[in-house]
Amino acid sequence: MTEATDERQVDILIVGAGLVGSLAAVFLARRGFAVDVYERRPDMRKVGISAGRSINLNISCRGLEALRRIGLVDDVLPEVVPMMGRMMHSRDGALTYQAYGKDDTEYGNSVSRGGLNKLLMDKAEATGQVRFHFNMKAQDSDFDRNSITFLDENNKTVIVRAAVIFGTDGAASAVREQMMKLDDFESSVEQLDYGYKELYIAPAEDGGFKLDKGALHIWPRGTYMLIALPNFDGSFTVTLFLPYKGDISFEKLTTEQSVRDFFTEHFADAAELMPDYVQAFMNNPTGHMETVKCHPWNVGGQCLLMGDAAHGIVPFFGQGMNCGFEDLSIFDECVEDHISQGGTIFVERRSHHREDERRNFGKLLHDGEANWLRVFTDFYERRKDNCDAIADMAVENFIEMRDKVGDPKFLLAKGVEKILEKKFPGKYISRYSLVTFSNVPYRLAQQAGTICDGILAELVAGIEKPDQVDLALAERLVDERLAPMLVDRPELKTKLTAK
Ligand SMILES: Cc1cc2nc3c(=O)[nH]c(=O)nc-3n(C[C@H](O)[C@H](O)[C@H](O)COP(=O)(O)OP(=O)(O)OC[C@H]3O[C@@H](n4cnc5c(N)ncnc54)[C@H](O)[C@@H]3O)c2cc1C
């Protein structure tokens, strides 16, 4: 049963204090706005709750660029574990290493989700402009009054009216659900028929790592796989990706014995490093993955979705958080452009409100609404197509990992691609590198990737080993088809790396 209702009024309301919401708070506070962030969970800095799914994440160029833009990159870099490549584990325990990039400037970075989230909250509060409110679950809205209704831990209803609302409450966004009630708002959620389960490899007794810490470990097995990312403390977070249904699937792993048999048969070397994996498997939830697309991300100039709430993607390109952080770089650019063109962004400051102004708050805001609307529309136009592109590439990458990693033709093309990246730096850049090690728009990376596929298909015809590739033909094809869209891209001239 709900109890008494409390009504509050704020300038900027952010719903969701995850990675994107907390970073958004820093960006907006640094622009001078007073920000209130409402979060469903308790304060993870005070109570030992899990940060949620995927204990660690791969932060790449786009995520680092957003942190650099706001002056936080040097706070985060000492906490990341660089991963120079992938270590593939075969069934018999044999290891094969593949470097991530064309040289040692290109690699992945494993960062703790909880550590990063807490740091962003601390940095937001340190601005003096941000207040967090925990145990507040958004569940209703009134966009005529621009308010969100929350339920607190005592079942009390709290209505928060705001000049502007940012919905950063993740892939299952309640704010997006509310927008769905409005005309002209569209949303689709496509569930993957795969789930994931998190497991854990503890640090070695001497505090070291039980596997090579400089790599992302993969146990590819065709339709299912296990991966492990290193943590700063010597442990690894392990994730099993598996179909929900079928011969080898979650539906078959319902007893301890079936789990033990499955791991012994398919991941014996990993199982040896995880003495408690059977219990962990039985106790840990099975996570699901989905692609969320929606339109138009905002309600007038009043409310805007960002991060997974606007564009949830499956994790097979390691880009969800990176893409959400890039939202903030682009949003900040939109604000900057707007201001440099003589515009202002209008929000009445809380301290300036007199009681009579408060009553007219919604009306007062109307004056400012047009400006926010311009920024929101500009942001949507710059971002939507690129977010659709990474969503589609993430699904394609999943299919590639699932169906093609064992295909000799595919492996031959990948081998040729490595040669081209080394021989023609700056002219031949793979789709993976453009997504992971650069800030070019995702759509451009996707288009370049299609061209790369065409070039590789021509080059592998009639050869059996990568070093048989016709380099003269390769150079001609690269110069004709790919180089024109890549050379002179400003985003390729500077590269942010963790080392
Ligand atoms: C297995 C897995 C591995 C991944 N690996 C990577 C990776 O390596 N690299 C990468 O870049 N991305 C990765 N991702 C994606 C990444 O986790 C997300 O893109 C990222 O967390 C999105 O951040 P967000 O702040 O938008 O949403 P979230 O992290 O989901 O945060 C949303 C916040 O809103 C709160 N909230 C939810 N509902 C409400 C409500 N009703 N009221 C108030 N608060 C609410 C939640 O409690 C949470 O704090 C991975 C995802 C998965 C599932």
pLDDT tens for each residue of 42-100: 999 998 766 445 688 999 999 999 999 999 999 999 989 999 998 999 999 999 898 88
239 lines ligand 1 (CB under 6 A): yes
Q: pLDDT band at residue 103, thresholds of 50, 70 and 90?
A: confident
How remote is the CA of residue 308 from the centroid of ligand 1, in Å? 6
Ligand 1 mutation target, pool 14, 118, 308, 313, most atoms within 8 A of CB:
308
Respond yes or no on whether the N-terminal peptide bond of residue 78 is cis (omega within 30° of 0): no
133 lines ligand 1 (CB under 6 A): no
Which protein residue's CA is at the shortest distance from atom 9 of ligand 1?
318
How remote is the CA of residue 18 from the centroid of ligand 1, in Å? 6
Angle between helices 408-423 and 442-460 (to 10 degrees): 110
What mean pLDDT value characterizes the chain? 90
State yes or no: pLDDT of 420 exceeds 90. Answer: yes
Q: pLDDT band at residue 106, thresholds of 50, 70 and 90?
A: confident
How remote is the CA of residue 337 from the centroid of ligand 1, in Å? 29
Residue 249 pLDDT: 98
Residue 61 phi/psi, 5-degree rounding, is -45, -45
Which of 106-110, 187-191, 265-269 shows the lowest per-residue confidence on average (mean pLDDT)?
Answer: 106-110
Atom index in ligand 1 nearest the CA of residue 312 equals 19
Which protein residue's CA is at the shortest distance from atom 35 of ligand 1?
16
321 lines ligand 1 (CB under 6 A): yes
Fold of domain 3-79+112-190+290-388: FAD/NAD(P)-binding domain (3.50.50)
Distance in angstroms (rounded) separating the CA atoms of residues 379 and 114: 28
108 lines ligand 1 (CB under 6 A): no
Model pTM greater than 0.85? yes
DSSP code at position 172: T
Ligand 1 mutation target, pool 43, 166, 169, 238, most atoms within 8 A of CB:
169
What CA dihedral angle connects 464, 466, 468 and 469, to 10 degrees?
A: 120
User: Nearest 5 degrees, angle CA 316-CA 305-CA 448?
Assistant: 40
240 lines ligand 1 (CB under 6 A): no
319 lines ligand 1 (CB under 6 A): yes
From its phi and psi, is residue 128 left (phi > 0), alpha (psi between -120 and 50) or beta? left
- Does the CA dihedral 439-442-444-448 come out positive or negative? positive
DSSP code at position 79: G
Residue 347 pLDDT: 62
Residue 235 phi/psi, 5-degree rounding, is -90, 170
Residue 285 CB neighbour total at 10 angstroms = 10
How remote is the CA of residue 19 from the centroid of ligand 1, in Å? 7
Atom index in ligand 1 nearest the CA of residue 17 equals 49
